[in-house]
Every structure is written in C-alpha cells, then in structure tokens.
Amino acid sequence: MALSTPEFIRALPKAELHVHIEGTLEPELVFALAAKHGIRLAYGSVSELRAAYRFTDLQSFLDIYYSGTSVLLETADFHAMTSAYLRRAHADGIVHTEIFFDPQAHTARGVPLGVVMAGITQALQEAQARTGITHRLILCFLRHLPAEDAMRTLEQALPWRDSLTAVGLDSSEAGHPPSKFAAVFARARSLGLLAVAHAGEEGPPAYIEEALDLLHVQRIDHGVRCAEDPALVARLARERVPLTVCPLSNVRLRVFDELSDHNLKALLEQGLCVTVNSDDPAYFGGYLLDNFLAVAQALSLSHAQLAQLARNSFEASFLEPDAKHHWYARIDQLLARSPC
C-alpha cells in the first residue's frame, strides 16, 4: 500500500546540511537561560518575543538573532541548545546533520571558544550514542566583520581542529563578497578543512562564482539567485555543485513572496543538486520536516522528486562514500514501496 506524501516524507532518511545552531534557540529556552543568568530581555514574554519574528529582510532578522545569543554564556547553555535541536532532528527523520556555529558571536561577548566547543561537541556525541545520528561541525565566519577577525578566529580554533570538518561564511551578504575572505579560506584549506559559503541569497549570482572560484567551496549555501544567470545554472548542474536551499527561510526573509513562487522545483528539474534545509528554524517557523512538507504541497512534488532531494542531501554531505551508499539504498527501498 502506497504511503501518503506526509508519511513518505517522515519515513525518508534525511541529512540536514544548512542549520545554524544558534538559530535553533527557541524563545522558551531564551527566557529560561535569561532567568538563569539574571539577564533582562527586551521582551516581556515568550509570546511577545515570538511575535517579533516578523522580518522584512536578512538584516532585520540578524538584529534579533544576535540579541538572542546574549543568553548563551556557559557550556551547559550551548549543550542545552544543541541537545534540543538534535532531539527535534531525530524526530524529523534526520540521520545526519552538518551544523554551523558562529564563534565570533560569542567570543566578542567574552565567552571563551572552549566553552562554545565543549557544549556543542558534547551534545553531538551524546546524541550519536543515543540515537545514531551522525554529524559534522562547520565553523562559520561572520562576513560583516573584518577578514582579519575571521583569520584570528580560525587560529584560535586550532586546538579543536579535530572536531571541525569545514569552515563556512554567513551573516549579512550584501556588500561583503566572498573575495573578502580568500586568504582566510586558503589558510583553512592548508589545515585540511573543507569549505562552504552562503552566496546568492541576497547577494548576486557573481557571489556564487566567487565562492566557487576564489574560496574553492564544496557547496553553496542558499544559491537560489543562480537562476538569474543561465550560464551559472548550467555550470552548477554540470559540476554537481550542491545548493543547500532553505525554503521557509527564503519566504520569511522575502527572497520569494510565496512558497509557490520558489524555484527549488525548477532547479531540481534542471539537474542541480538542490537540498532542503531549515536554516534558523526557531525564527523561520519550521524545522526540516516542516520545510519538506511545505514544499511538497506548495510545489506539488512527486515521491520521486522528494526522494531525489533526500538523495541529494547525502550526496552533498561530507559523509564517507560507504555511508552515503547505505542511505541511498534505504531511500531507493522506500521509493520502490511507494513510487507515486
């Protein structure tokens, strides 16, 4: 008996490749940590804070996003935040996650990098032991800060090199091209770190090309504005450059007016390695399962297309080949039972 589309999505093994761990900080935990540390928030209640999550663009989101991190002060705080995300991820059918974190958002407040790393890595290891969910950790640089600050952050992270798989580039894209960070990414490559970068969300298609040609990234985070350049779309398809697309985020930040306007299906049909992710789910109204369910309905995706999105998530991941093939087989088995 064929599964319904929601049942099929829930059963699909999925990898999440674009999630900012600070962006999983739910208002309830913000208030709990604020009370713990005696921090007075600008909002009087959980509902008042959640009501403030009405963004007009990326910067309006970032303003409230960075203020939320003020409650993260101790190892236990980072552990609680990461553990909460991992419990939700497991419930959503995520079997592998590659998590972004922003050390500069914490060290600038006087929180030692070791505190950040200890809380996040302990939670990741515990979740893997408890549920089997595997992980990779990606250190992101804040692009609105000077490249010299990013370089210092990279050097400060060297004691935890073995816990890191890649570096990334996030925060406000406009006016901060990837080329600004070419030297930092070259240094990261010399350390054996892989690379990803946000590009082509609010920035132009040229930023995607810079990320590929100057930063030598393995995948592009967002990348939806590639559609404005047909030659770039052809290149991304030809080279199987993954795009970690975040549909609900794109609507909340006005990249697309409606989810039905999103180009995810069109890019998939053009042969691009597009994936579905949640970005900052506490702020954008949906975790990974919510994003899958929403695009399946809004874009009328078939089970075969949903399975391809799940396959793409493992293809684009930094998992070893044997692990990727294991999940490909699981996806193919599920699709064979429910091919509609």
Angle between helices 182-190 and 147-156 (to 10 degrees): 20
Per-residue pLDDT of 116-126, as tens digits, reads 999 999 999 99
pLDDT value at 49 more than 90: no
Per-residue pLDDT of 141-153, as tens digits, reads 999 999 999 999 9
d(CA 208, CA 214): 10
201 noted as active-site residue: yes
Q: What pLDDT band is residue 66 in, cutting at 50, 70 and 90?
A: confident
The reported pLDDT for the residue numbered 68 is 84
- Helix (H/G/I), strand (E/B), else coil: 275: strand
d(CA 196, CA 220): 6
The reported pLDDT for the residue numbered 199 is 98
User: Mean per-residue pLDDT for 301-316?
Assistant: 98
Structure tokens at 214: 């100057």
> Which of 16, 26, 173, 201 is labelled catalytic?
201
Per-residue pLDDT of 209-263, as tens digits, reads 999 999 999 999 999 999 999 999 999 999 999 999 999 999 999 999 999 999 9
Q: CB within 8 A of 20, min separation 6: which ones? A: 100, 101, 102, 140, 170, 279, 280
User: What is the pTM assigned to this prediction?
Assistant: 0.96
Per-residue pLDDT of 184-195, as tens digits, reads 999 999 999 999
Q: Taking a C-beta distance cutoff of 8 angstroms, is the pair 64, 102 a contact? A: no
